[in-house]
Amino acid sequence: MLKQSLIIASILSLSTLEAFAADKWYRGNTHVHTTLSGHADTTPDEVAKWYLDRDYNFLILSEHNKFIDPATVALPEGRREDFILIPGEEVTDDSHVVHTTAMNIKDLVPWNTDETRTTTESIQYHVDGTHTHGGTTILNHPNFEYAIRASDILGTHNLYMFELYNGHNDVHNFGNEDHVSTEVMWDDLLSHGMKIYGVSSDDAHQFQTMSPNMSNPGRGWVMVKSDTLTPEAMTKAMLDGDFYASSGVFLKTIESSSNKYSVSVDPIKTADALKSTVLRGKYIKDSKEGFRIEYIGPEGKILKTSTGNNASYDVEESMLYLRVKVTFTRAISEGGFEEYYAWGQPVFNPAP
Ligand SMILES: [Zn+2]
Ligand SMILES: [Zn+2]
């Protein structure tokens, strides 16, 4: 019996190893602007090259109500093969400040700024229009002008992703005295039973001058786990929650099953990423340097906190969801601290 169990165990671990060996991490940015918007400073070709030159694997040129066909973007001859452009658009309704990334669309998604609609109806119009054009919606920067509340999102259907972090310097990801952070919003949505994943993006407009007070690239990205790099595979993996969102922290592993959620950080890659001079950390007056791993459940309740480079949590059957957040804190020369994050996607129980 023991022998049989060992054989089964070794077969299982072999197949698990094979499954992991087939998967790779792909770094991507789902949101960026170009000269075609009229208010950004770099051409589509040069914007794509910026990401190509920095180890990204995919990029969506998401222009306001314009479709940039990747076939029209010139990339350098002899470039590395593991970089793709995913066709997209930022569907933009400025009357409600509803902006959404239409990911992996076939062609232009129409937009509409009907002021008689509610914000919820406007979001739904984007989701449905994007779906008709073969794509998937990411709801962008809800805290830009504090335009979108959790209650506006709760009334929608078939929306599975939103920007938890957006690198634009005018976007208030962390909220203020009167408005909740996008992370509090996320726990609100998840606690209401919504299946929605958190994305991090640049929303960069300025590539010619670099400063924390400008809208620069390299501040927010996703790491997507997949066995192939295609627009379809990236979109599907994100819809399956096989990714994490980052504002500066890299992970070595992140694995979840129905009974365990484990994570380990990558201190070397994180230290390297944090050499960037354009990142925008969250200012904290009093803290402690280093990594902190938090497991978070319904209503945003912190269930376990660990310091160090790895942690795991046993998922309980009764939990509606469980997510993990990794924080890296460092002291800054002006005094105080700043925090950078990697956000793992929630696991749902029972699996939806
Ligand atoms: Zn926008
Ligand atoms: Zn944008």
> What is the DSSP track for 152-182?
HHHT-SS--EEEEEE--TT--TT--SSS--H
Q: Are residues 271 and 238 in the same domain?
A: no
Does residue 6 lie in a domain region?
Answer: no
Does residue 7 lie in a domain region?
Answer: no
Ligand nearest to the CA of 39: 2
What spacing in Å lies between the alpha carbon of 195 and ligand 1's midpoint?
23
User: For the whole model, what pTM was predicted?
Assistant: 0.93
Residue that finishes a domain, picked among 246, 271, 304: 246
What spacing in Å lies between the alpha carbon of 64 and ligand 1's midpoint?
8
What spacing in Å lies between the alpha carbon of 335 and ligand 1's midpoint?
33
Separation CA 48–CA 135 (nearest Å) = 21
Q: Are residues 129 and 209 in the same domain?
A: yes
Is residue 6 scored above 50 in pLDDT? no
Q: Are residues 234 and 265 in the same domain?
A: no
Is residue 136 scored above 80 in pLDDT? yes
Per-residue pLDDT band for 14 (boundaries 50, 70, 90) equals very low
Residue that finishes a domain, picked among 246, 277, 302: 246
Residues in CB range of 329: below 8 A, 6 or more apart: 284, 287, 288, 289, 290, 292, 337, 338, 339
Separation CA 295–CA 346 (nearest Å) = 10
Does residue 10 lie in a domain region?
Answer: no
What spacing in Å lies between the alpha carbon of 99 and ligand 1's midpoint?
5
Ligand nearest to the CA of 33: 2
Per-residue pLDDT band for 10 (boundaries 50, 70, 90) equals very low
What spacing in Å lies between the alpha carbon of 283 and ligand 2's midpoint?
24
Ligand nearest to the CA of 140: 1
Q: Are residues 275 and 208 in the same domain?
A: no
Q: Are residues 221 and 279 in the same domain?
A: no
Residue that finishes a domain, picked among 219, 246, 273: 246
Q: Are residues 270 and 242 in the same domain?
A: no
Q: Are residues 197 and 285 in the same domain?
A: no
Separation CA 199–CA 245 (nearest Å) = 5
* Percent of the chain clearing pLDDT 70 (strictly above): 93
What spacing in Å lies between the alpha carbon of 112 and ligand 1's midpoint?
15
Does residue 131 lie in a domain region?
Answer: yes
What spacing in Å lies between the alpha carbon of 126 and ligand 2's midpoint?
15
Does residue 299 lie in a domain region?
Answer: yes
What spacing in Å lies between the alpha carbon of 39 and ligand 2's midpoint?
10
State the pairing for strand pair 290-297/301-307. antiparallel
Query: Average pLDDT over the chain, rounded to whole?
Result: 93
Structure tokens at 24: 């790779």
Q: Are residues 91 and 145 in the same domain?
A: yes
Q: Are residues 241 and 278 in the same domain?
A: no
Mean pLDDT of 296-312: 97
Domain extent at residue 291 = 261-352
Ligand nearest to the CA of 97: 1
Tally of domains within the chain: 2
Does residue 271 lie in a domain region?
Answer: yes
Of 28-32, 35-39, 314-318, 322-326, minimum mean pLDDT range: 314-318
Per-residue pLDDT band for 317 (boundaries 50, 70, 90) equals confident
Ligand nearest to the CA of 145: 1
What spacing in Å lies between the alpha carbon of 172 and ligand 2's midpoint?
14
What spacing in Å lies between the alpha carbon of 39 and ligand 1's midpoint?
12
What spacing in Å lies between the alpha carbon of 90 and ligand 1's midpoint?
7
Q: Are residues 113 and 174 in the same domain?
A: yes
Is residue 1 scored above 60 in pLDDT? no
Per-residue pLDDT band for 17 (boundaries 50, 70, 90) equals very low
Does residue 255 lie in a domain region?
Answer: no
DSSP for residue 213 = T
Q: Are residues 177 and 46 in the same domain?
A: yes
Phi, psi angle pair for 267, to nearest 5°: -65, -35
Does residue 91 lie in a domain region?
Answer: yes
Mean pLDDT of 248-277: 95
Q: Are residues 217 and 341 in the same domain?
A: no
Q: CATH number of the domain that 99 lies in?
A: 3.20.20.140
